[in-house]
Amino acid sequence: MLLLFELSGEHATMPVSELRGIMEAEKIESNEIYHNSRMAIFEAEEKVERIAKRVAMTHSINEVVGMGSKKEIEDAIKDIGMEGSFKIEVLNFDKKIDSKKLKNEMGEKISKATGCKVNVKNPDNLIKIYSYKKLYLTRELFKIDRYQFEKRKKKPFELPITLHPRLARAMVNIARIKKSSIVVDPFCGTGTILIEAGLIGASVLGIEAKKWIAHGCKNNMKHFGIDARIYNKDMRNVDLKADAIVTDFPYGRSSYVGEKIKKLYREAFKKFDEWLSHGYIMAGIANRQLIGTGKEFFDLIEIHPYRVHKSLTRFFCLFKK
């Protein structure tokens, strides 16, 4: 099946990286055909629902019915094999077409070819035409509920510096987390990463040095029904085994008071090496210089610069052992 993923566009590289991670974690055989910052096309097995349940940085998943020139799209319509009503949307990414004109023309041709009627309020089929260098005629399979991540921003216990749940879910997916994985966040804070990993079925374990934050994290886990182990310890004094590590290193005023950041990173990555026999580490890192510390212990696979605000850019890095 040829699939077109309409990406969220909120980040240049993370959305397609997230898709690759999900497909590897879910053991979905796929072939990446093309991607840009707004769409990605994969040839993949028909296990689309698995992707839809996990993905965070995608708006919708669509089956490609035809692609190419306007004439090729018109030819594809003849074999669309659709029943029920339909609605057409045109997503004009390259601004090279008259969207309204194309929508009307294709609507008429689909009605003629299938006998189906247009229903803009409650259609049985959502037909979407994407324009970027060429045309892609698609049928929407899944619309991703991105509002779920906004709802999870509200937790019983919160801190001013907290990852957005959508970003945390993308990190979990990029780290190839499976349902059977043991996932550790050694700087777990309010537990946002643990919640997202737990909701896809992973076993989660968090470590937090500050007692009051660890207590708040436990309350958050209970609130979302996540069976998590939360340790109130310095992560450098914990021995454990993990399949993956997903974390956002502490930074700013909320970080370890008086700690030399380079020393913290080196000791943390050394501990990660002890915890993992093999697997991935997905980590938010304070600056480019500190990425090198991770490279002393692991293979660096990806770097995703993420602008938090004008004066702060984080680097979300995927390492592999």
Q: What pLDDT does 285 receive?
A: 94
Contact of 69 with 134, CB cutoff 8 Å: yes
pLDDT, position 196 = 98
Task: Compute the distance between CA of residue 304 and CA of residue 316 in angstroms, rounded to an integer.
Answer: 5
pLDDT of amino acid 61: 98
Report the alpha-carbon distance of residue 231 to residue 63 in Å, rounded.
Answer: 45
- Closest to 6 measured CA to CA, from 157, 128, 185, 170: 128
pLDDT of residue 252: 52
What is the pLDDT at residue 53? 97
Q: What is the pLDDT of residue 302?
A: 98
Please, are residues 269 and 297 in contact by the beta-carbon 8 Å criterion?
yes
Each residue of 57-68: pLDDT tens digit?
A: 999 999 999 999
**Quick check: 93 and 39 in contact, CB under 8 A?**
yes
Q: Please, which contacts does 29-35 make with residues 24 or more away whose CB atoms are closer than 8 Å?
A: 33/2, 35/7
The reported pLDDT for the residue numbered 259 is 55
The architecture in CATH of the region 147-320 reads 3-Layer(aba) Sandwich (3.40)
Quick: pLDDT tens for 95-145: 889 999 999 999 999 999 999 999 999 999 999 999 999 999 999 999 999
How far apart (Å, rounded) are the C-alpha atoms in residues 278 and 182? Answer: 12
**CATH number listed for the domain at residues 2-143:** 3.30.2130.30
CATH 3.40.50.150 residue ranges of the chain are 147-320
The answer to whether the beta carbons of residues 38 and 12 sit under 8 Å apart is no
- Which 3 state secondary structure label does DSSP give 133? coil
| pTM, 2 dp | 0.94
Per run of 10 residues, the mean pLDDT along the chain (length 321 residues) is 96 97 97 96 95 98 96 93 94 92 95 95 97 96 97 94 94 96 97 98 97 98 97 97 96 51 93 98 93 97 89 92 97
Domain with CATH 3.30.2130.30 in the chain: 2-143
| Sequence-separated (6 or more) residues with CB below 8 Å from residue 247 | 184, 185, 186, 187, 188, 193, 281, 282, 283, 284
What spatial distance separates the first Cα and last Cα of the chain, rounded to whole Å?
Answer: 32
Alpha-carbon span 302 to 41, nearest angstrom: 20
The set of residues, in sequence order, having a beta carbon less than 8 Å from that of 309 and lying 6+ positions away, is none
